[in-house]
Amino acid sequence: MKKSVTIRYQQLGDAKRFYEILNSQNFTYFPAKPKTIKEERDFLRKNKEWREQKVWFNFTILYGDTIVGAVGVHRESHRPYCGEVGYFVDEEYWGKGIAVEAVKLIEKMAFEEFGITRIEINMIKANKASARVAEKSGYRKEGIAKGKLMLNGETCDCFVYGKAKNN
């Protein structure tokens, strides 16, 4: 039976799962690789303040009762109506439509609760799975941003996908 995908705000107790997921061999194009569980917990500790400042809203993705990944929206400080969505899913759960479902859930919150009216999704050009998630979630490829993303200490070109609330 297909389980439901839900999201909830991240908790400190999620650190161990995120540490394991993010250190997976196949996370080739994702820049964040915590070196220890403590490092991940220290990151999660900042979430409350980011939420209060309305700069970064990070959620844990649940598939049924299991933590399978994360999705977040980060708003630009000088254009607070613009947000960037990012996500990751445990490789054991890839291909079940979980990321697409999570993007739909966070997009609804961003447009209806966080005052965001434009969302971007950026991915390294080789990250075909992420590009597919953006397309399946109704985002349009707008172009290439030169040197926007950083991977393994090097800047890389990325695809920019976007969607505006009212068009």
Ligand X SMILES: CC(C)(COP(=O)(O)OP(=O)(O)OC[C@H]1O[C@@H](n2cnc3c(N)ncnc32)[C@H](O)[C@@H]1OP(=O)(O)O)[C@@H](O)C(=O)NCCC(=O)NCCS
Output 28 or 53, the one with its CB closest to ligand X.
Answer: 28
Q: Does 123 bind ligand X (CB under 6 A)?
A: yes
Q: 88 near 69, Cβ under 8 Å?
A: yes
Region of residue 105 (phi > 0: left; psi between -120 and 50: alpha; otherwise: beta): alpha
Distance between CA atoms of residues 48 and 56, nearest Å? 9
Q: Does 19 bind ligand X (CB under 6 A)?
A: no
Locus of tokens 């598939």? 63
Q: Does 9 bind ligand X (CB under 6 A)?
A: no
Residue 26: closest CA among 104, 97, 137, 130: 130
Candidate ranges 8-16, 48-56, 105-113, 123-131; the one touching ligand X (CB under 6 A) = 123-131
Q: Report, in Å, the least distance between residue 18 CB and ligand X.
A: 12
Q: Does 88 bind ligand X (CB under 6 A)?
A: yes
Each residue 58-87 as x (binds ligand X by CB under 6 A) or -, in order, gives: ----------------------------xx
